[in-house]
Amino acid sequence: MQLIYREIALRGEYAYVFEDDINLLEEIHLDEILEYEANSPMFFYLGVCEATHTAEKTDLSIQGHDVYQKRGSCRGLHAIGISPVGAASLLRFSHLPERYMDVILEQFSLLYPANVCRYDLESYIAGHRGIFFQDRKKFPSTISKRDLRKIEFGILV
């Protein structure tokens, strides 16, 4: 992930990073996403996983939808938009002891609250909000329970 952010920072253009197990909750057009980009100087979530609904409503409305912002209390690196400045800042920030980039991004959002594209939408998985979501039914995990136990104890396979 750090290599991806380094490339974004060097290219100098807003970019999008997607995992391979995402799906859309509704059709969306590029002009709507570009409005989020224009109002997100660091980064924004195209989808987010949250344990608690702690998003704050902003004064912003995009395409008739209220825009909400997350400040911590979220995970999910499955779909984000990030600016070159955001990528460079996240790269510097990512040298914390934490190993998982979604947790690092969550901590980064405490410093730089992030808009969530179409926070009003929620998938069949409670707490998965936004236009993109991690579709666990269509794309089941390839990580086995044995691998998860190894990761949990800090042993990488």
pLDDT in tens, the chain (157 residues): 889 999 999 999 999 999 988 999 999 999 999 999 999 999 999 999 997 888 999 999 999 999 999 999 988 788 999 999 999 999 999 887 767 888 899 999 999 999 999 999 999 988 999 999 988 888 877 665 555 455 444 444 4
Q: Give rounded-to-5 percent helix, strand, coil for the chain.
A: 30, 25, 45
For the entire predicted model, the pTM comes to: 0.86
Q: Is residue 58 part of a domain?
A: yes
157 in a domain, yes or no? no
Backbone angles phi and psi of 80, in degrees to 5: -135, 155
Domain count, the chain: 1
- Give the structural domain span for 67: 2-152
Residue 81 placed within a domain: yes
Q: Residue 44 has what pLDDT?
A: 98
The Cβ of residue 112 has, within 10 Å, a number of other Cβ atoms equal to 18
